[in-house]
Structure formats: structure tokens, C-alpha cells
Amino acid sequence: MRPVIITANWKMNTTPADAGPLAADIAKATDVAGITRIICPPYTNISAVSDAVEGTGVLVGAQNVHAEPKGAYTGEVSADMLKGLVSWCIIGHSERRRDQFESDELVGQKTIRLVEAGISPMMCCGEQLEEREAGSAVATVQAQVKASLETIMAAGNGLPADLVIAYEPVWAIGTGKTATGADAAEMADAIRATIADVGGADYAESVPVLYGGSVTADSFAEFINEPSIDGALIGGAGLKPDQMAGIAATAAEAAAARANS
Ligand code: PGA
């Protein structure tokens, strides 16, 4: 059975001074049974967050990693640098695809680095509004996932056992608009079909697919009530302990229902 996962992506928010107290508040607010909780602070606040959540069960992730193992890449952070500091890392977030022009192949390379370092990859994908309106959302997202997975396969070590995919329609990120649960579930099924093409049906069934894009305590139920969706990647609401409390409570209910079915 796939885990139910809620991940807070703090983006470029918090400081070393306020990240620890916020993480401690979120850990307390989300202390429910049966789900996986991850907080992804900025690099500079990883150690403050790790200290604050020690013993709570909350896992810590990074928001990005460089695609090369080491070298002359001023200002960048490698997978080896993150080893021991985080257990998860987001890759291919649409804000990085937009601002740093990250390609699907680069996202695949980053995944390879994470696997080498023993860090679990959370790979983002999602269509633009024009692609949704043109009816090409599914094809766009399938092409993203396929290209990244094929890059990983070409390295010769197969696909990561701990891969998670976060489907985040770009037009839903930070806008207050969400996909419908039905559209997100259709996309999760399409993503798994693509994963199955590359890595086989059993593997595809094992990969959690999260929804992201303006998830709140109010909207989360619509997504987690879809059997093909396994949790959320949460931006704005991930900085708010009361919102995270509501999301965690709904996640715990879903996890319990799945365990009993
Ligand atoms: P949002 O961000 O919840 O603020 O829309 C989600 C994300 O970008 O991961």
C-alpha cells in the first residue's frame, strides 16, 4: 500500500531564526497517526528545522539539488552536501523550470544524483494553463515524466524505489485556483500509465502521486478522496500551522480508510 504523504514546500520563506519555531509548531499541529510528513525549508534553514523536529517523526527535505556531483558551480548545492541533512529533495518544481529553465532531462540527472546520495526524490510535473485549455495537459505531463524517467533509465540502474511524483498544474500554484479532484485523479492515472511504460505496472502502482497547487485545509479532501492521489505538495498553506493541522487530520482519515479497505 502506498503511503499518504503531506509535504510543505516553504520556497524562499523563513529565516534561520524563525524556521525552527515554525517547524516545531507544524510538527505539533500535524501529530497524527499513519501519514508521512515532510518539511522542505530553504537550504540555510535545514539544520534549524532538523533540530526543531527531532523526535517528532517529521522528515526534512531540500527544495532542489544540482545535477552534477561536484565542481565549479558557484552557489550550487550537490547531493553529497545534502547527504545526512535531508531524507527528501524536491526536483523539477515549475518555478525552477520557469526561472532556471530546467528541462525534463536535467530533472532526470538530478534524480540520479539523489539516488546516489540515498536521498528520496520528489519529482514535480505539471501543465501550463494554455496547455490545459488546448486539451494537451495529459500529453504534456506524460511527456515530462517520460523524458525524466528515460534519462534515469539510461544511467543503467533502473528507477528509484522511493520515487514520488508531485503533479502540480502550473496555473494552480499560488493562485488560489485548484484542479478538480477528478482532473487531478485522471492525471495521476495518466502519470502511472507513463511510469508503467518505462518501469512496469507493478513499479508504477508503488509510486505515490501527490497533488499540488493551492492546497488548503478546505480543498485537500477533494484530492485525497481520490484513490489514485496519495497526498499533497503544499506551498502557501505549508507555512501555516493551522492549515497544516487541517490537512494532516484529513490525511490521517484517508490513510486509516485506505488501511481498512
Ligand atoms: P501553493 O504552492 O500551495 O502555494 O500553490 C504549491 C507548490 O508550488 O508546491
Tens digit of each residue's pLDDT (9 = 90 or more) over 75-131: 999 999 999 999 999 999 999 999 999 999 999 999 999 999 999 999 999 999 999
Q: How close is the Cα of 155 to the center of ligand 1, in Å?
A: 31
Q: List the residue whose alpha carbon is closest to atom 1 of ligand 1.
A: 235
Q: How close is the Cα of 45 to the center of ligand 1, in Å?
A: 19
Residue 57: CB within 6 Å of ligand 1?
no
Cell of 134: 488546448
Task: Answer whether 38's CB lies under 8 Å from 59's CB.
Answer: yes
Mutate to test the pocket of ligand 1, among 98, 170, 173 (most ligand atoms within 8 A of CB): 173
pLDDT at 231: 98
Residue 235: CB within 6 Å of ligand 1?
yes
Q: How close is the Cα of 173 to the center of ligand 1, in Å?
A: 5
Residue 38: CB within 6 Å of ligand 1?
no
CA distance 218 to 222: 9
Share above pLDDT 90 across residues of the chain, in percent, rounded to a whole number: 99
- Going from the C-alpha of 38 to that of each of 86, 117, 137, 169, 223, the distances in angstroms are 10, 18, 28, 21, 18
Q: Which atom of ligand 1 is nearest to the CA of 216?
A: 3
Cell of 121: 526524490
Task: Identify the segments of the chain with pLDDT beneath 50.
Answer: none
Closest Cα to residue 168, out of 125, 208, 104, 226?
125
pLDDT at 52: 98
Task: Answer whether 30's CB lies under 8 Å from 58's CB.
Answer: yes
Question: Among all residues, which ones are annotated catalytic?
Answer: 93, 168
pLDDT at 240: 98
Mutate to test the pocket of ligand 1, among 5, 6, 7, 9 (most ligand atoms within 8 A of CB): 9
pLDDT at 145: 98
